[in-house]
Amino acid sequence: MSGGGGCCGELYSCVFDYSTPRIALIKSRKVGLLNRVIQLVILAYVIGWVFVWEKGYQEFDTVISSVTSKVKGVAATNTSELGFRVWDVADYIIPPQEENAFFVMTNLILTPNQTQRQCPEVRVQTGRCVAYNETVKTCEVDAWCPVENDLTVPKPAFLGSAENFTVLIKNNIWYPKFNFSKRNILPNISTEYLKSCIYDRVNNPFCPIFRLGSLVEEAGESFQDMALLVCAEDHIVSKNALQ
């Protein structure tokens, strides 16, 4: 019985007793200085090397991402050369796919009924001159005739209504190391919402569908002016891109 009581007493003492270690105070400048130097070295290593230089508190991973875009819109034109015509994505997106960009045709120069034969070149005053019109003679060439005349550009832009076309931009990212993925289409966005929404920083800030004219305006430019680009030598660019 006495042995059992001793064990219980020791157990009681271990559980409910509290003790503190003894502290020895050494009054020595050398020992105190050495102690502070060691503390500063450890602190400098942790802060300077581990956190600042090596960024040991961070983990890095290479992001895997994909961005897709889809332009939508329909335009109608009525000209003497083509008559009434409806333009869809297959007509004004050239080429259909590009890397990190998309191309929208906004203006073009029409040269209908071309055939391979000899004809006067546009405004060239060398070579064998033939009548280009009643007052001008130009060089005769073997080419697709009539030769494209790029001295004038349609104004307003032939496809100026492309300003109201829209582009859907999907962006997906994935960090394999952390098994973390994110996309710009939020989980609560429904298919019905995507059919009607257009991005607006106040009313629809999470809509991934953007109006082309608004994109150009956000860049501080005019869409209709951009659709009539002229290069440095004053030659008209017949097809302009939104990239």
In the chain, where the domains are located: 27-58, 65-111+148-226
The DSSP letter of residue 147 is P
Share of the chain above pLDDT 70, in %: 84
Token pair in block for residue 85: 């015509």
pLDDT above 80 (res 227): yes
pLDDT above 70 (res 230): no
pLDDT above 60 (res 234): no
Round the average pLDDT of the chain to a whole number and report it. Answer: 80
The more confidently predicted of residues 132 and 215 is 215
Confidence of residue 232 (pLDDT cuts 50, 70, 90): very low
- Alpha carbon separation from 71 to 2, 66, 106 (Å, rounded): 92, 17, 13
Share of the chain above pLDDT 90, in %: 21
Q: In what helix (H) or strand (E) does residue 129 lie, and over which residues does it extend?
A: strand 129-131
Report the C-alpha gap between 185 and 195 in whole angstroms.
13
Question: What was the pLDDT predicted at 101?
Answer: 81
**Which class for 91: exposed (0-12), middle (13-18), buried (19 or more C-beta within 10 A)?**
middle
Token pair in block for residue 209: 């569908």
Give me the half-sphere count of Cα atoms (radius 13 Å) on the Cβ side of residue 69: 20
The more confidently predicted of residues 111 and 193 is 193
pLDDT above 90 (res 207): yes
Indicate whether this model's pTM tops 0.85: no
The more confidently predicted of residues 232 and 137 is 137
Confidence of residue 56 (pLDDT cuts 50, 70, 90): low
Instruction: Tell me which CATH homologous superfamily contains domain 65-111+148-226.
Output: atp-gated p2x4 ion channel domain (2.60.490.10)
Mean pLDDT of 171-183: 91
Confidence of residue 214 (pLDDT cuts 50, 70, 90): very high
